[in-house]
Structure 1
Amino acid sequence: MNPDIEPRMREILDTFSDPDADVARLLCDRHPDDSPALTVISADLEPATYTYGDLAASSARVAAYLRDSGVTRGDRVATVMGKSADLVSVVLGIWRIGAVYVPLFTAFAEAAIGSRLSEANGVLVVADRDQRHKVPSGSWQTVVLDDGPGGVRAQLDSFADAAVSSVAVGGDAPLVHMFTSGTTGTPKGVIHPVRYVAGWNSYLEFGLGVDADSSFWCGADPGWAYGLYTAIVAPLAAGVPTVLLQGGFSPESTWAVLEDLEITDFAAAPTVYRGLRAASAQPPEGLALQRLSSAGEPLTPEVNEWASTALGLRVHDHFGQTELGMPIGYPHHPQLLREIVPGAMGPALPGWNMTVLAPDADEPAEPGSMGRLAVVVAESAFMTFTGYAGVAATPSDRFCGDGKYFTTGDTATIDSDGIIRFSSRDDDVIIMAGYRIGPFDIESTLLQHPDVIECAVIAAPDPVRGEVVEAYVVLADGVSGTDELIGELQTWVKTHYAAHAYPRRIHLVDLLPKTPSGKIQRAELRNRRRSLEAGAS
């Protein structure tokens, strides 16, 4: 730990661990009323800016409405809402009365929303009008934000003069009840305490390098942990203005927001950077960008080859998961800068101690040896996770070594300098004739080929080698998928990575299966393969 960083990290931790911690005050009321808090950019790129005073007033109305509807401290209240000032007001209103927030992504279908509401024991759901049809009937109330006569918005206005004192719940009280993405099995319930916010506030400051002079934009959706905490919670906690862009991703709108708002600090998923790289739209001249960050999927090297040339900056890769927050990454903070190693995730961030355990023992592996990525629990100040919640939870085997370690479910290596390289999810490791092959390495290599836009690599059964590498590849527009190109891609991997690890089978596809948050579902590709094999037998 950098000695200059530790006092500030401890200050953040103490603030959100306080037994009298008041979420609405920490995220809103303690900031000057006239300070800008949020800019919402409409789909046609019109901005609207809201101050902390605006959010305090609107969230107080929401709190009064919820209280009048019977919601009390500890109750689970969900939203199915797009990116808007209404969303932020509702979330703050939930916390103002000590209730617990359940974020639900707008791309979810009715079954996914219903199962999560049931498991979280939701008592009330706030939905945008265009999302109402996805909310099934149940034991919960459903509230639609609309502008019609007698509608909820008019009712909210009737609470303009209501006095709602925010509830001090303390750092150990539940803040958010959310669910993992389900990329490796059934989505699991995760309950975050108020002090979990400390890790995200620290990440904003040390990992992303955002400060009082920054113009910050996180492009992730608040329906998921990274978007909720990086785009909303951490900036509000730090008093840093944040941005929400409505509508789907497009290179044109992304460049426009970066230019018009003079964004200095941008964080987005690797798929966003790949989309910018592949598009015909070019970066505007004179962008104010100073720091670029990515999270959600491993950052493949071709992104930084492009960013270095097109933007004169390198993207810092950051790693996290719903259970933990953001424990690893190349930090932007000037006192923590490290030379970026292509293909590596970086070191542990302040407040975290990470290690790699041997594959078959609960002890650290030798430097450079592939093993199980793990948190050293007692030496990680921002670690709050203790186990999964709800009926979908199973006894957690993620803790090992008598609770000393928490394994993330990933394979990785760590060198003598503490730099961590991601290899794969545990379930994705390919073992071919005794060789352990990480899909990320093969995918990174394929993505450096000029004709490849996206790809995913899985294991395919082989009677001789046990498993071989199988790749699913999305080609750039205008590129013809021929047998010659498949052979060229195989040779590319042989010459640019390793001769033994080339994909024996390559499928050219139009799309890859993804979760609503944009993560590639390799498990779905494996299921397709098993279905094809079953049909052929």
Structure 2
Amino acid sequence: RPAGLNLRSLLTGGETLGAELGDFVQERLGVEAREIYGQTECNLVVGSNSNFFPIRPGAMGKPIPGHDVRIVDDAGNVLPAGAEGHVAVRRGDPVMMLEYFNNPKATAEKYAGDFLLTGDRGRQDEDGYLWYVGRSDDVITSAGYRIGPGEIEDCILRHPAVAFVAVVGVPDPVRTEAVKAWIVLKDGHAGSDALVADIQRHVRERLSAHEYPRHVAFTDTLPMTATGKILRRELRARG
């Protein structure tokens, strides 16, 4: 822990907190990184805190008491543990919006059955932990598989040459989309065909075969919003 730094806790949100970053915070700052999740339409509804339950690296946490957060299908039906679907919050939540101002169509489209759809994809395990897959718009469809960028990004970040990474889908004539990784390298490393092959091997050895990036591009920076969210749509537009 840096001298003079007296942190009691640290909250993180806006992007998935991968295991790599969580370990970094614990080692360098001496506190656990507690992930929180919500959105403007329905504020803080999921979190992680080891005072109440063990933190599972890579998981968003569990629903905060008083909030009914589930994984549902397109019709708003609750899905079984382990199934991927929409991250959704049951109607009537005290932090849920009433409506989009003067936009009843958008308000209606935000709901499915008894649930508000957050626009995120995820899954919930048998112990109630929620795992983020990606924004619905960011999920990659490749050879019949639905692939979330978060798990791949977390895996690539564990490669010793990688500082930052963003994963997107790019058009592919055979697979519909192929996985592409945009990577910012750490100081002292240079992009090369050998490094591309090593990063691809690194992912193939740790994740499913269909998740490894068939395309890798090195860049100096990643496009981000003012709040630090990666602008994946800009990377998709680059091809």
TM-score, normalising length: structure 1: 0.43
Indicate if the aligned counterparts of 1:331 and 1:349 stay in contact, CA closer than 8 A: no
* 1:282-293 aligned within 5 A: 283-285=1-3, 287-293=5-11
SS at match of 1:526: helix
CA distance in 2, matches of 1:388, 1:509: 38
1:340 partnered with 2:55:
yes
Out of 52, 67, 71, the position equivalent to 1:352 is 67
1:397 partnered with 2:109:
yes
The Cα of 1:508 is off from its aligned counterpart by 0.3
1:467 partnered with 2:177:
yes
SS at match of 1:442: helix
Greater fraction helix: 1
Paired letter, 1:411: R
Q: Please tell me whether Structure 1 or Structure 2 has the larger radius of gyration of its CA atoms.
A: 1
* 1:69-148 aligned within 5 A: none
1:384 partnered with 2:96:
yes
Q: 2:206 maps to which residue?
A: 496
Q: 1:374 maps to which residue?
A: 88
CA distance in 2, matches of 1:325, 1:388: 15
Paired letter, 1:323: E
The Cα of 1:331 is off from its aligned counterpart by 3.2
Q: 1:364 maps to which residue?
A: 78
Q: Percent identity?
A: 39
The Cα of 1:436 is off from its aligned counterpart by 1.3
Out of 123, 128, 138, the position equivalent to 1:428 is 138
Indicate if the aligned counterparts of 2:163 and 2:186 stay in contact, CA closer than 8 A: yes
Paired letter, 2:78: P
Structure-2 change in CA distance of 1:458 and 1:482 (3 Å): same
Indicate if the aligned counterparts of 1:299 and 1:317 stay in contact, CA closer than 8 A: yes
Deviations 1:235-272 (A, max 9, x none): xxxxxxxxxxxxxxxxxxxxxxxxxxxxxxxxxxxxxx
Structure-2 change in CA distance of 1:306 and 1:395 (3 Å): closer
Q: 1:176 maps to which residue?
A: none
Q: 2:231 maps to which residue?
A: 521
CA distance in 1, matches of 2:53, 2:120: 23
Structure-2 change in CA distance of 1:377 and 1:405 (3 Å): same
Indicate if the aligned counterparts of 2:2 and 2:28 stay in contact, CA closer than 8 A: no
CA distance in 2, matches of 1:340, 1:507: 33
Q: 1:446 maps to which residue?
A: 156
Structure-2 change in CA distance of 1:484 and 1:421 (3 Å): same
Indicate if the aligned counterparts of 2:49 and 2:55 stay in contact, CA closer than 8 A: no
Paired letter, 2:41: E
SS at match of 2:109: coil
SS at match of 2:182: strand
SS at match of 1:445: helix
TM-score, normalising length: structure 2: 0.93
- Quote the RMSD (CA, aligned, Å): 1.8
The Cα of 1:509 is off from its aligned counterpart by 0.6
Indicate if the aligned counterparts of 1:428 and 1:438 stay in contact, CA closer than 8 A: yes
Indicate if the aligned counterparts of 2:223 and 2:234 stay in contact, CA closer than 8 A: yes
CA distance in 1, matches of 2:108, 2:188: 48
CA distance in 2, matches of 1:349, 1:457: 29
The Cα of 1:286 is off from its aligned counterpart by 5.5
- Structure 2 unaligned blocks of 5 or more: none
Paired letter, 2:117: T
CA distance in 1, matches of 2:205, 2:31: 28
Paired letter, 1:362: G
CA distance in 1, matches of 2:90, 2:26: 34
SS at match of 1:524: helix
Paired letter, 2:97: F
Point out 4+ residue stretches in structure 1 off by more than 6 angstroms.
Answer: none
Indicate if the aligned counterparts of 1:301 and 1:448 stay in contact, CA closer than 8 A: no
SS at match of 1:519: coil
Paired letter, 1:439: P
Indicate if the aligned counterparts of 1:329 and 1:347 stay in contact, CA closer than 8 A: yes
CA distance in 2, matches of 1:368, 1:460: 27
Greater fraction strand: 2
The Cα of 1:390 is off from its aligned counterpart by 5.6
SS at match of 1:296: coil
Out of 161, 165, 171, the position equivalent to 1:455 is 165
Deviations 1:329-348 (A, max 9, x none): 1036x4xx111111100001
Deviations 1:294-343 (A, max 9, x none): 111110111122223223332111112111111111036x4xx1111111
Paired letter, 1:313: V
Deviations 1:408-427 (A, max 9, x none): 00000012221100000001
Indicate if the aligned counterparts of 2:43 and 2:96 stay in contact, CA closer than 8 A: no
* 1:212-231 aligned within 5 A: none
Indicate if the aligned counterparts of 2:42 and 2:96 stay in contact, CA closer than 8 A: yes
Paired letter, 1:443: E
Deviations 1:162-214 (A, max 9, x none): xxxxxxxxxxxxxxxxxxxxxxxxxxxxxxxxxxxxxxxxxxxxxxxxxxxxx
CA distance in 2, matches of 1:450, 1:291: 28
Paired letter, 1:357: V
Out of 315, 318, 343, the position equivalent to 2:36 is 318
The Cα of 1:395 is off from its aligned counterpart by 4.9
Indicate if the aligned counterparts of 1:388 and 1:396 stay in contact, CA closer than 8 A: no
Paired letter, 2:54: E
How many corresponding residue pairs? 238
1:509 partnered with 2:189:
no
